[in-house]
Structure 1
Amino acid sequence: MASSGNTGIKRIIKAGQYSWQGFYAAYQHEEAFRQEIWVLLIAIPLALWLGENRLETALLIGSILLLLMVELLNSAIEAVVDRMGSERHELAGRAKDMGSAAVFVATINALVLWLVMLF
């Protein structure tokens, strides 16, 4: 396996750049990701205000961050499947459906957590 030559701090900086490129691409091209970013921006102050302790606050914010992570992975799956071709294939459809299901589960997780913690 060939090495990129990036080690130590240079590798960390490069990884950070790639991550920001991923955030930017997701924000530019994925409506759901943009909406979830706005939910996060609203949820952070709400969690800080409504959380009764640091654990509750962390769980409330963490549930939205988990949703964002799953959305990023789902978007990556969709991009790869779309890149492979436009013809219908059972496995491609299954991959996209399972990614969507993962986002749905993460959304339900966040909703249940917020409801349980706040009511």
Structure 2
Amino acid sequence: MNPDEPAFSAFKSRGGLQRIAGAMRYSLAGLRSAWKHEHAFRQEVMVIVPAAVVAVLLPVTGMERLLLLASMVLVLVVELLNSAIEAVVDRVSLERHPLSKNAKDFGSAAVMLAVLLSLACWGVVLWGWWVGRA
């Protein structure tokens, strides 16, 4: 490492309220970009929004409602991370490479696991609600 180079990124913020405001702007820009450019993100949002309404209206406990909503938010979080991985891999090179494939496949697998977890949460809560009604 060159001793004349700074030990920190020039892109890192310093702190305070400006850091919080900047972080909010970057986060909203990320959500806008994901909505505009990521088909999977849009599809998941289109499923999750009505499901969230159902979750809020279901006569279940607060903890069950939180489980339903949190599991769906987790799907979106993992999808955003997967999209970030794909963007970085594509930025580095569009050339086909086994490591690039692995990185993208790992991200995709993470999304799949998040979706399966959410489905399992919904299954458990709905089963308990259905059995409790009888």
The question of a shared fold, defined as TM-score above 0.5 by the shorter chain, is answered with yes
Q: 1:110: how far off?
A: 0.6
- Partner residue in 2 for 1:117: 125
Judge conservation of contact 1:50–1:118 (CA < 8 Å) in 2. Answer: no
Matched residue, 1:40: 48
Which moved further from structure 2: 1-10 or 58-67?
1-10
Partner of 2:5: none
Q: What displacement does 1:85 show?
A: 1.3
Q: 1-side partners of 2:38 and 2:51: how far apart?
A: 20
Q: Percent identity?
A: 47
SS in structure 1 opposite 2:96?
Answer: coil
- Which has the larger helix fraction? 1
Q: Deviations over 1:48-81 (max 9, x none)?
A: 1125111000000001000000000000000110
| Secondary structure of residue in 2 paired with 1:63 | helix
Larger-Rg structure: 2
Structure 1 residue 62 corresponds to structure 2 residue 40: no
What TM-score results when the alignment is normalised by the length of structure 2? 0.84
Q: How does the TM-score come out when normalised to structure 1? A: 0.94
Q: CA RMSD in A?
A: 1.4
- Residue in structure 2 matched with residue 103 of structure 1 by the alignment: 111
Larger displacement relative to structure 2 (79-88 or 11-20) = 79-88
Whichever residue aligns with residue 60 of structure 1, its letter is: L
1:19-41 deviations in whole A, cap 9, x for unaligned? 00000110000011001112221
Can you give the 5+ residue segments of structure 1 that lack an aligned partner in the other structure? none
More deviation in 60-69 or 41-50?
41-50
Letter in 1 for 2:106: M
- Name the stretch that deviates more: 31-40 or 96-105: 31-40
Residue of structure 1 equivalent to 2:33:
25
1:49 maps to amino acid: L
Q: Give yes or no for the alignment of 1:8 onto 2:28.
A: no
